[in-house]
């Protein structure tokens, strides 16, 4: 499977890309995870958005990238998401490799902090993240802070 990666600041979003992003995030974070929360949080404005499109032009992978000082003192990656039908292709790992590479290119190599769903701790460990604080519940889902040096 070939994925075309694009990374755009929010102000460069055409309406159709914004629609694709909000649809995918709602599909997974609200419907699939059965979690009622305010996804549109004004942080999109400060983020660069990593978009992964398949050969058919469908948005299948996505993450938000933040410079240091926007969410945490460190750079950060959030809203990491792969559309359900595409998870069997290890696309999540490629998404994280792309997200880290784009973050370094945009903001310079530096520490990176995330708020990870607790059940994904092992996944993020593969990329050098380690738990750096106690578990907390966000929107009814256990999370842990994780940091990558």
Note the pLDDT tens digit of each residue in 16-74.
Answer: 999 999 999 999 988 888 888 778 888 999 999 999 999 999 999 999 999 999 999 99
Instruction: Give DSSP secondary structure letters for the chain.
Output: ---EEEEEEGGG--HHHHHHHHHHHIIIIIIITT-------SGGGG-EEEEEE-TTS-EEEEEEEE-TTTSSSSEEEEEEEE-GGGGGGTHHHHHHHHHHHHHHHHH-S--EEEEEEGGGHHHHHTTT-EE-S--EEETTEEEEEEEE-
The confidence score (pLDDT) of residue 23 equals 95
Residue 135 pLDDT level (bands cut at 50, 70, 90): very high
9 touches 48 (CB < 8 A): yes
Structure tokens at 103: 């973050």
Partners of residue 114 on adjacent β-strands? 146
Higher per-residue confidence, 113 vs 32: 113
Predicted structure pTM score: 0.94
The confidence score (pLDDT) of residue 126 equals 97
Walk me through the domains of the chain, giving residue ranges and CATH numbers.
4-109 (3.40.630.30)
Strands 112-117 and 75-82: what pairing? parallel
The confidence score (pLDDT) of residue 105 equals 97
Note the pLDDT tens digit of each residue in 71-103.
Answer: 999 999 999 999 999 999 999 999 999 999 999
């Amino acid at each position: 499977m070939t994925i075309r990666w694009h990374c755009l600041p929010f102000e460069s979003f055409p309406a159709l890309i914004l629609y694709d992003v909000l649809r995918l995030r709602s599909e997974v974070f609200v419907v699939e995870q059965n979690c009622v929360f305010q996804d549109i949080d004004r942080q999109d404005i400060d983020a660069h958005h990593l978009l992964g499109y398949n050969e058919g032009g469908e948005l299948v992978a996505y993450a938000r990238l933040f410079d240091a000082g926007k969410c945490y003192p460190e750079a950060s990656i959030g809203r990491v998401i792969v559309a359900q039908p595409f998870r069997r292709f290890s696309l999540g790992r490629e998404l994280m490799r792309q997200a880290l590479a784009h973050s370094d290119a945009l903001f310079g190599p530096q520490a990176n902090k995330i708020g990870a769903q607790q059940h994904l701790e092992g996944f993020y460990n593969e990329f050098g993240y380690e738990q750096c604080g106690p578990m907390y519940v966000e929107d009814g889902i256990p999370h842990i802070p994780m940091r990558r040096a």
